[in-house]
Amino acid sequence: MAFEGLTEKLSAAFKKLRGKGRLSEADVKEAMKEIRMALLEADVNFKVVKQFVASVTERAVGSDVLESLTPAQMIVKIVNEELTNLMGGENSKLTISPKPPTVIMLCGLNGAGKTTNGAKLAGFFKKQGKRPLLVACDTFRPAAITQLEVVGSQVDVPVFQMGQIDPIDIAKAGIEHAKKHGNDMVFIDTAGRLHVDEELMDQLKQMKAAIEPTEILLIVDAMIGQDAVNAAKAFDEALDITGVMLTKLDGDARGGAALSIKAVTGKPIKFVGQGEKLDQVDLFYPDRMASRILGMGDVLSLIEKAQQSFDAKKAAELEQKLRKNKFTLADFYDQLVQVKSMGSLSEIAGMLPGVNSKALEGAMVDESALARTEAIILSMTPAEREDPSLLNNSRKKRIAAGSGTQVVDINRLLKQFELMQQMSKQFSGKNIKKLGRMGKF
Ligand code: GDP
């Protein structure tokens, strides 16, 4: 999962601070050293790290922090705020042209995910009631046009193409086509290269001059860390981009790109791609990302995801159960089925504060494990489903026989259920308030 190493190291640094009670300036400096190392190891640009550590230190050793009752928490809060600032503060929205169509030129190196994410964005805006058009201007990579047609049809967005002719002519004709057919957003898929090269930049500059796009969105791969930041710098210098979409955040990106791009280029990350599936696209919220990096979870995104995937009634029921902390094995099974439509369990666990996502990885989400879990839960009596503490050894043996499983399978399931209950506690009454306070302390 993205940022795992960074999250672990930052948590370790904060844990040491918390263990100390009163803090001295030397304690803060020591923690800052660890934070500095953690950021550098996460491939954050060294100038950005230097600046970041300086601002956090200045605020942390400043007037009333060390004197406060909870200095360690105050420092976590400062780090959280500074991380948020580093990534741009607020969510930066895509500019919508007052005179349709809004034209978005998508640029980036080969393999960054331009084509896939162009379709993701088009699908994203279609769901919001827009009428997007994808325009195939990558005439450099032979299969790009067909690929765009395939992903376009998967999100049910039309694709305009004219084969391998001059991409600027295609872009212009695509925009005309959009005007005639009432498409209010045009996403232009442009050619990439393996590395930043002059020929590509010249072509993109000419296209920019010819079509005057509303936005130039650079697609960058979060997995390549500082190389992504360097590419962003080069594209920005040539094209004066308006924003960035960071892709492959579902992978094991260390954090360098997400944390450095805004500081280095001055341009905001507007969207993130978090998977190969075409609905795995999200707006980028610096504050939520900072919480996630600090292991405080991203409860807001989780709730939004749940709202998208569940029907409203089920979501409301679940929320009630979570709030009242009345989450039973029957709900657990329901969740497993629904979770599959939300993404991988470890991805979801990563959004929750204090949940060890590794403990939840694997077993539960594949089909056969799900069938086993179903068999086990269906072999329980309703009372057992409500109260698993009833499950003594003889009951477990009965259930194992009834479901064609072993007692160890039942124990594993109960362990996973316990973890899920821990998650549910995060949502329950007073903890919801606690979570709310996390942003403020
Ligand atoms: P392009 O050369 O920039 O047009 O890149 P493509 O759109 O062809 O994407 C390159 C590869 O990255 C494809 O295999 C995509 O499925 C994959 N990809 C794109 N976005 C994501 C993402 O957010 N997560 C993951 N895991 N893979 C992605």
CATH code, domain with 190: 3.40.50.300
- Please check whether residue 91 lies inside any domain of the structure: no
Looking at the fold, whether 80 and 142 belong to one and the same domain comes out as: no
Rounded Cα–Cα distance for residues 285 and 93 (Å): 10
CA-based nearest residue to 279, from 130, 145, 150, 154: 154
Q: How far is the CA of 27 from the centre of ligand 1 (A)?
A: 44
Rounded Cα–Cα distance for residues 232 and 365 (Å): 36
What's the confidence (pLDDT) of residue 338? Answer: 67
Domain boundary among 270, 293, 316: 293
Q: For ligand 1, what atom is nearest to the CA of residue 272? A: 23
At 308, list the tokens: 């998208």
CATH code, domain with 316: 1.10.260.30
Q: Which protein residue has the closest C-alpha to ligand 1 atom 5?
A: 113
Looking at the fold, whether 186 and 281 belong to one and the same domain comes out as: yes
Q: For ligand 1, what atom is nearest to the CA of residue 273? A: 23
- How many domains does the chain divide into? 3
- The reported pTM is 0.72
Pocket test for ligand 1, best of 116, 249, 281 (most atoms within 8 A of CB): 116
What's the confidence (pLDDT) of residue 67? Answer: 74
Looking at the fold, whether 110 and 82 belong to one and the same domain comes out as: no
pLDDT tens track for 384-439: 988 888 999 999 999 999 999 999 999 988 988 887 777 666 655 444 444 434 33
Domain boundary among 248, 278, 293: 293
Looking at the fold, whether 26 and 82 belong to one and the same domain comes out as: yes
Q: Which protein residue has the closest C-alpha to ligand 1 atom 16?
A: 276
Amino acid at 114: K
Q: How far is the CA of 151 from the centre of ligand 1 (A)?
A: 11
What's the confidence (pLDDT) of residue 362? Answer: 47
What's the confidence (pLDDT) of residue 16? Answer: 87
Looking at the fold, whether 67 and 138 belong to one and the same domain comes out as: no
Q: How far is the CA of 65 from the centre of ligand 1 (A)?
A: 45
pLDDT tens track for 33-54: 999 999 999 999 999 999 999 9
Q: How far is the CA of 137 from the centre of ligand 1 (A)?
A: 17
CA-based nearest residue to 308, from 348, 365, 350: 348
Q: For ligand 1, what atom is nearest to the CA of residue 251? A: 26
Q: How many CA atoms lie within 13 A of 199 on its CB side?
A: 6
Looking at the fold, whether 344 and 433 belong to one and the same domain comes out as: yes
Rounded Cα–Cα distance for residues 25 and 36 (Å): 16
Q: How far is the CA of 256 from the centre of ligand 1 (A)?
A: 19
Alpha-carbon distance values, 10 to 6, 32, 279 (Å): 6, 10, 31
Looking at the fold, whether 336 and 395 belong to one and the same domain comes out as: yes
Q: Which domain holds residue 224?
A: 102-293
CATH code, domain with 72: 1.20.120.140
Q: To which residue do tokens 């045009």 refer?
A: 186
Looking at the fold, whether 406 and 340 belong to one and the same domain comes out as: yes
What's the confidence (pLDDT) of residue 61? Answer: 83
Residue 205 · residue 167 · CB < 8 Å: no
What's the confidence (pLDDT) of residue 343? Answer: 60
For the chain, 441 residues long, the average pLDDT of each consecutive 10-residue run is 85 85 85 94 93 92 73 85 93 95 97 96 96 96 93 98 96 98 98 88 96 97 92 96 95 89 96 94 93 74 63 67 72 69 60 54 56 86 88 94 91 84 61 40 27
Looking at the fold, whether 149 and 229 belong to one and the same domain comes out as: yes
- Please check whether residue 254 lies inside any domain of the structure: yes
Looking at the fold, whether 399 and 381 belong to one and the same domain comes out as: yes
Looking at the fold, whether 289 and 303 belong to one and the same domain comes out as: no
Q: To which residue do tokens 């409301």 refer?
A: 316
- Please check whether residue 97 lies inside any domain of the structure: no
Looking at the fold, whether 288 and 305 belong to one and the same domain comes out as: no
